Amino acid sequence: MDVNFHSSVVFCNDLPKQREFYEKFLGQKVKQDLGGCIVFQNGFTLWQLEEKYPISRELGYTYEPIGNRNLELCFETEAIEDSVEKVLLSDLRILHNLEEEEWGQYTIRFYDPEGNLVEIGESLRTMVKRMQQSGLGIDEIAKKSGLHKRMVENLLEINL
């Protein structure tokens, strides 16, 4: 069997509201608008299911109002502080404010308008540069982050 990953899909109850959130609030760019299906440039897709679709017939519904508890939509940024401020100033339900993960990355988690868990984390490059600016050496950064030393060097643009 020869298959390739295509995209992740979030089923929506209110597609226009979800589109506005991901497009305007999170700055995602639309690649295709297929009416009931919005495909973003990063491959992430929103889909408003209708009862006539096979998946709806098999599941018996088209939307789960509590969101998906086994899925997290992850986004990265070079400007985590700006993103955190935007989230905190919104009326979104927040799971947790800015926290440092065990591996050193700063993240914030919150829910989209339909209850799906969203994470914004600082990019690995930003994390590694922040660690270096705090005085950690390459080996210490590699140990704390779990990244290979060569990847840390690449992220810091050393020996390129």
C-alpha distances in Å from residue 4, one per residue of 83, 138, 142: 32, 36, 31
Whether 90 is covered by a domain: the verdict is no
Whether 25 is covered by a domain: the verdict is yes
Task: Give the pLDDT mean for 145-149.
Answer: 96
pLDDT of residue 135 exceeding 90: yes
Whether 112 is covered by a domain: the verdict is no
User: Which domain does 31 fall in, by range?
Assistant: 1-63
Whether 155 is covered by a domain: the verdict is no
Whether 24 is covered by a domain: the verdict is yes
Whether 95 is covered by a domain: the verdict is no
Q: How many residues does the chain have?
A: 160
pLDDT band at 51 (very low <50, low <70, confident <90, very high): confident
Q: What percent of the chain has pLDDT over 90?
A: 73
Whole-structure pTM over 0.75, yes or no? yes
CATH number of the domain that residue 59 is part of = 3.10.180.10
Task: Give the pLDDT mean for 117-121.
Answer: 96
| Tally: H helices and E strands in the chain | 6, 8
The span from the CA of 97 to the CA of 120, in Å, is 11
H-assigned helices in the chain: 15-20, 54-59, 80-89, 124-133, 138-145, 149-155
Tokens of 54: 């096979």
Cβ pair 108, 118 in contact under 8 A? no
Whether 58 is covered by a domain: the verdict is yes
Q: Provide the pairing of β-strand 106-111 with 94-100.
A: antiparallel
pLDDT of residue 121 exceeding 50: yes
Task: Tell me what pLDDT residue 125 has.
Answer: 95
53-77 pLDDT, tens digit each: 888 888 877 677 777 777 899 999 9
Question: How many domains does one find in the chain?
Answer: 1
| 55 contact partners, CB below 8 Å, separation of at least 6 | 49
Task: Give the pLDDT mean for 93-114.
Answer: 96
pLDDT of residue 126 exceeding 90: yes
